[in-house]
Amino acid sequence: MHDLQLIRDNPADFDKCLLKRNLPPVSLQIITLDKEKRLLLTELQEFQNNRNLLSKQIGKIKSSGSSEQADLLINNVNKLKDNILSHDLIIKEITKKLNDILYSLPNNPFDEVPIGSDENDNIEIEGKRFGDLNKQDFVVQQHFEIKGFEEFIDFETASKLSGSRFVLLKGPIARLERALGQFMLDTHIEEHGYTEVSVPLIVNNNVMFGTAQLPKFKEDQFQVMVNADETQVNGGALANEDTKKWLIPTGEVPLTNIVREQILDLDQLPLRFTALTPCFRAEAGAAGKDTRGMIRQHQFNKVELVSIIKPDQSAVEHDRMLNCAENILKKLDLPYRVMLLSTGDLGFSAKKTYDIEVWLPGQKKYREISSCSNCGDFQARRMNSRYRNENGQLSFVNTLNGSGIAVGRALVAILENYQTANGSIEIPKALRKYMNNINSIDVLN
């Protein structure tokens, strides 16, 4: 969420940031509504003060026996009450209009973020490529085409159970997926200093609002239908926005909201959390994209990294988080590159984002496997998450989040990059201790 004072002080700069995001200017509309609201609030305060003053006078006059003068004051108080009610309603309407605008606006990008229209304007970071793209001298099959693995990677049964964009993993492939998640968690905890958290997978409206999935991206989420008797439904319990529950689209949501409505001491920062969770996404805007395989699923596992820090540490922490995610891919010996996202591809909450793209030889292209974002104080303002700075003053924390990494896509990358000419899948050395020290998964005959 944006700082209204900054918009008041620098409306032109705010509109320039929106232009970078390919959005029209709205500062004039925001400032006009804000001025109107503040004027009405001032008038409301005056009405309330006058009402309180007259109410005290009425009591004194009644005790002195002057009923005619008391009736006159009562009439004035009633008029003030009407004015208070009408102003209250108007202020609520204006506040909703103002919030509807503010809640729809993405974070302002940092100056170093390249301006662009979409992912085609992203910039590769020099010196960040890793791995050999040509280590296999045969035609690599895409992960969903590998002969003999249909029993282990079962889309047909998953479709019967849940519909499209689900997969059922069995046997050694299910174990490989579990090994990946365990390996990632162990690395982030033991080597990178993150604290593991086991989080709820169902969260409420306020939590989804805090990390900015709501209200703008409601159609991309899975809503949980809460069981309730007819009295609760008719009484409005389910109609109340505050009672809605959602499946988490990413571990970022519960991890970041750990500090919701908190005031942290300076010595508590930085906080670094990690969690392995299922993620649930409706993929409302993904019709026709990646319809085969495990690249784009309604449910997938991911290890998430979240940092809660002081504002002056955000840039260094962003690079640190990126290095932590890169380290996972290096240990797995999976080729990748790092991209700096342009304003046209930047996520809603982010001020700056690095994407790590892993090489998939079956597709002959790089695909996103991790996204590491610096959100500044955008989410902290929505969550009201603050800390006491060196001077004892309250300031908003900064939040960062990153995939460390997507387990399903890492599995895809291994199935393709560790594929052998005979169709077997070698096990990366880093994972063998989690796989009972086997070296490969062989083809089913």
Q: What are phi and psi of 154, to 5 degrees?
A: -110, 100
* 249 CB-near residues (< 8 Å, 6+ apart): 213, 220, 221, 222, 279, 280, 281
- Residue 160: the pLDDT is 96
- Residue 225: the pLDDT is 82
Give me 25's structure tokens: 């200017």
Report the predicted TM-score, pTM, of the whole model to 2 decimal places: 0.90
pLDDT in tens, 9-62: 999 999 999 999 999 999 999 999 999 999 999 999 888 888 777 777 776 676
pLDDT surpasses 80 at 153: yes
- Residue 228: the pLDDT is 54
Q: How confident is the model at residue 66 (pLDDT cuts 50, 70, 90)?
A: low
Distance of alpha carbon 350 from alpha carbon 376, whole angstroms: 8
pLDDT surpasses 50 at 236: no
Residues 337 and 357 sit within 8 Å (Cβ to Cβ): yes
Residues 84 and 48 sit within 8 Å (Cβ to Cβ): yes
Residue 172's Cα: distance from chain center in Å? 32
pLDDT in tens, 249-286: 999 999 999 999 999 999 999 999 999 999 999 975 55
> Residues 133-150: what's their mean pLDDT?
90
Distance of alpha carbon 95 from alpha carbon 384, whole angstroms: 18
- Residue 54: the pLDDT is 76
